[in-house]
Amino acid sequence: MRDEILKLEEQSVALEPSPILRKEWTDSVNQYANDFIDNIETTPAYVISEENGRALLNHDFRESGTAIDDVLKILKENVDSIGLNPASGGHLGYIPGGGIYSTALGDFLAAVTNRYAGIFYGGPGAVRIENQLIRWMNGLIGYPSGSLGNLTSGGSIANLIAIVTARDKKQLRARDVENAVIYLTEQVHHCVQKAIRIAGLNESVIRYIPMDSEYKMSAEALAKQVEIDRGSGLKPFLVVGSAGTTDAGAVDPLDAIADIAEANDMWFHVDAAYGGFFILVESLKEKFKGVERSDSLAIDPHKGLFLSYGLGAVLIKDVKAQFESHYYKASYMQDTLGINEELSPADLSPELTKHFRGLRLWLSLHLFGLEPFRACLEEKYLLCRYFYEEIQKIGFEVGPLPQLSVCMYRYHPKSGDVNEFNLKLVEFVKEDGRVFISSTNLNGVTWLRLAVLSFRTRLKTIDILLEVLKDGVNHLEDKK
């Protein structure tokens, strides 16, 4: 048996590359990454491709390895040169972020050291880092010390953890689901509806509360509806507000919603996945008044702190409730019990083994300090305001005054269908490719959206968009 094992070892040691090979790989990857960043300003935000990376399927996984430069070539041609480029400052659609470089370094270190951030017993330092980051965010929002939460892969899972915690804390058993009422607006992000379904609450009564002209929840209408529901013997249990909706960037009247939630013993959850970090900007703080009165909140560092995809957070005041919804004991985990200087992420989320995703944020905050983040957020807010002014000068209709960094706008052509014209305008911008925008539809009306949140978006980027839109209008009007 020993001989057999030693023979296999000769092959398996290949998984530990020699220092020379490691250097070769790292140098190549570094070169690739540096080329990518050095050329980002002139790389299109969108590339239309016929192939859509289909050639990837021609490369089967083989028994023996392939040289790194050949592998990177496949990646470049079939992945990094087509479709949307989320790293581009020209990405002005959906909700961008960009992906600051320190994210990659944090991930690299987390992957090499493979520290375990799931349980304090195994990775006390890693768990401390994650909980420290969560507490820092709790501080920003104004949650009391003693609150916690979890670092998630993104806002969707963050919202799910909060809703599951709310369900359990309010002691909804299966038989109570039908009579429980959830309050939201039609502008809530669709992952909230998804979370409601996954949490087994789809059969609850779901009330879409009317909004004002700025797409904010009407607190008055909410109060009325809760009263009606209580009167008819239903159990109002959860209200979900948004601090920055995806379509319009609207911040619901959080303070007034908190009053209603408090008076009716409802869980108040805030989806701040997009907008939450704007609270770092002194002049925008006021918009978040009352957010500290919520029970839980979702916030995405991979949006508002410009990290690469893969980091969201849920913040929860009642950590005991969060724990009770998510912990479990298993006999093979018995050694880990009793050591609890810090609560373990594995007891506060559905995950056990997890990526040490906090390291990328910890490294970024330490390397840069907070100042450039605050400035960058304020810059993005003002870029949106600038666009809002300028786009009207070239004849576009605009939606409500942007509260954060999303602006809705549309063009009314001399003749023909307005919605269709605006969708063609999206296509025109995509074909140009320097910048990328997306559209939405509110009550049958097509709006174009500008979402400024890539850290690489500059004044000149917005000027390019204005220029392309103007050209697009002229081109489409001429063609008719």
Q: Which residues bind ligand PLP (CB under 6 A)?
A: 95, 154-156, 189, 191, 242, 244, 246, 271, 273-274, 300, 312
Least distance in angstroms from the C-beta of 189 to ligand PLP: 3
Least distance in angstroms from the C-beta of 243 to ligand PLP: 8
Q: Whose Cβ is closer to ligand PLP: residue 138's or residue 242's? A: 242
Distance (Å, whole) CA 266 – CA 149:
19
Least distance in angstroms from the C-beta of 30 to ligand PLP: 28
Least distance in angstroms from the C-beta of 276 to ligand PLP: 9
Q: Whose Cβ is closer to ligand PLP: residue 449's or residue 456's? A: 449
Q: Could you tell me the strand order of the sheet in which 267-272 lies?
A: 148-152, 312-316, 296-299, 267-272, 235-242, 180-184, 205-208
Least distance in angstroms from the C-beta of 231 to ligand PLP: 32
Q: Whose Cβ is closer to ligand PLP: residue 176's or residue 186's? A: 186
Least distance in angstroms from the C-beta of 67 to ligand PLP: 36
**Cα–Cα nearest to 348, from 324, 331, 318, 313:** 324
Q: Whose Cβ is closer to ligand PLP: residue 192's or residue 226's? A: 192
Q: Whose Cβ is closer to ligand PLP: residue 247's or residue 432's? A: 247
Least distance in angstroms from the C-beta of 272 to ligand PLP: 7
140-146 contacts at long range (C-beta below 8 A, 24 or more positions apart): 140/276, 140/277, 140/279, 140/280, 141/272, 141/276, 141/279, 141/288, 141/291, 141/292, 141/297, 141/299, 141/315, 142/291, 142/292, 143/292, 143/297, 143/315, 143/317, 144/317, 146/317, 146/319
Distance (Å, whole) CA 400 – CA 392:
12
Query: Mutual orientation of helices 254-263 and 219-231 as an angle, nearest 10°?
Result: 20
Q: Whose Cβ is closer to ligand PLP: residue 273's or residue 279's? A: 273
Give the SS3 label for residue 101. helix
Question: Are 244 and 272 within 8 A, CB to CB?
Answer: yes
Sequence-separated (6 or more) residues with CB below 8 Å from residue 74: 55, 56, 59
Least distance in angstroms from the C-beta of 157 to ligand PLP: 7
Q: Whose Cβ is closer to ligand PLP: residue 134's or residue 273's? A: 273
The one-letter amino acid code at 380 reads K
Q: Whose Cβ is closer to ligand PLP: residue 313's or residue 464's? A: 313
> Where do the DSSP E strands lie in 101-187?
148-152, 180-184
Least distance in angstroms from the C-beta of 190 to ligand PLP: 8
* Measured CA angle at 297 (ends 167, 302), to 5 deg: 125
Distance (Å, whole) CA 205 – CA 212:
22
161: left (phi over 0), alpha (psi -120 to 50) or beta: alpha
